């Protein structure tokens, strides 16, 4: 458990460093005068970037588990799932509080899906992805630990492609960072790692045919 947590902390520390390089000095908005809530908008972007990366990492862990490349995959899966939910929750809360400060009133409309126009539709997809992620995490933990229903847990995970699709569309449609060259390189490296694990896993499961004499 400690090893998995240390590896995840190191990985997301590197991803945070990559985000800082792309976003510039993140402490600028905290020490100098800026628009109300701007620092929280910046935090929302950071947590959103880490959240979408954590979903890609979760896919890599799942493939490594299915192909039996990664030992103790359940531990890595659980730790990274917890971090994914944490990043996504902080992303939503930071954006909600920042929007509320900016408008001088609770901005509940940003967390209620509204498909009235392009921006709100893409924002709504992000909220739907967040709710599905929370349901998968909470119900998955409950079913596995309390009810010992592993088959239902696997069935519940069929919603994970929807989470990934909705989160990706949300991120690349209205997220400013995801469309820059630096972040596209990061996402490309994560996707390349996923494909590498998949190919290596498939090759490792392939055994030469043994002919009897």
pLDDT in tens, 148-191: 556 666 667 777 888 989 998 998 888 766 667 778 888 888 88
The structural domain count of the chain equals 1
Closest CA to 50 of 60, 38, 61, 58: 58
* Percent above pLDDT 90 for the chain: 24
Q: Would you give the DSSP letter of residue 213? A: -
The number of residues in the chain equals: 213
Residue 212 located in a structural domain: no
Residue 81 located in a structural domain: yes
Residue 91 located in a structural domain: yes
Closest CA to 166 of 120, 127, 129, 116: 129
**Separation of CA 15 from chain center:** 12
**List of residues 6+ apart from 121 with CB closer than 8 A:** 114, 115
Q: What is the CATH number of the domain that holds 94?
A: 1.20.120
- pTM of the shown model: 0.84
Residue 209 located in a structural domain: no
Longest dimension (CA), the chain: 82
Q: Which domain holds residue 89?
A: 2-201
The pLDDT of residue 54 is 92
The pLDDT of residue 209 is 39
Residue 80 located in a structural domain: yes
Which spans in 24-117 are helix H? 28-31, 38-66, 73-103
Rg (CA), the chain: 19
From its phi and psi, is residue 181 left (phi > 0), alpha (psi between -120 and 50) or beta? Answer: alpha
**Can you give the pLDDT of all 213 residues of the chain as single tens digits?**
667 778 888 889 888 888 887 777 666 666 667 777 788 888 898 899 999 999 999 888 888 877 777 776 778 888 898 999 999 999 999 999 999 998 889 999 889 998 989 999 999 999 999 999 998 888 776 666 655 556 666 667 777 888 989 998 998 888 766 667 778 888 888 889 888 888 887 777 654 434 344
Closest CA to 80 of 58, 51, 96, 98: 58
Residue 206 located in a structural domain: no
């Amino acid at each position: 458990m400690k090893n998995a947590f240390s590896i995840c902390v190191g990985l997301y520390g590197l991803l945070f460093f990559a985000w800082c390089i792309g976003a510039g000095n993140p402490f600028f908005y905290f020490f100098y005068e800026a628009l109300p809530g701007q620092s929280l908008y910046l935090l929302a972007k950071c947590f959103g970037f880490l959240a979408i990366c954590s979903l890609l990492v979760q896919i890599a862990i799942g493939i490594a588990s299915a192909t039996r490349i990664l030992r103790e995959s359940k531990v890595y899966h659980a730790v990274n799932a917890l971090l994914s939910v944490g990043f996504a929750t902080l992303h939503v809360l930071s954006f909600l509080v920042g929007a509320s400060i900016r408008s001088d009133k609770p901005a509940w409309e940003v967390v209620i899906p509204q498909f009235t126009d392009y921006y709100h539709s893409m924002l709504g997809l992000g909220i739907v992805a967040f709710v599905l992620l929370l349901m998968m995490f909470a119900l998955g933990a409950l079913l596995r630990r309390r009810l010992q229903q592993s088959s239902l847990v696997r069935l519940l995970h069929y919603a994970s492609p929807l989470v990934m699709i909705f989160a990706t569309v949300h991120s690349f449609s209205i997220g400013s960072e995801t469309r820059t060259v630096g972040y596209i390189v990061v996402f490309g490296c994560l996707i390349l790692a996923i494909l590498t694990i998949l190919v290596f896993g498939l090759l490792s499961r392939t055994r030469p045919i043994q002919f009897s004499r």
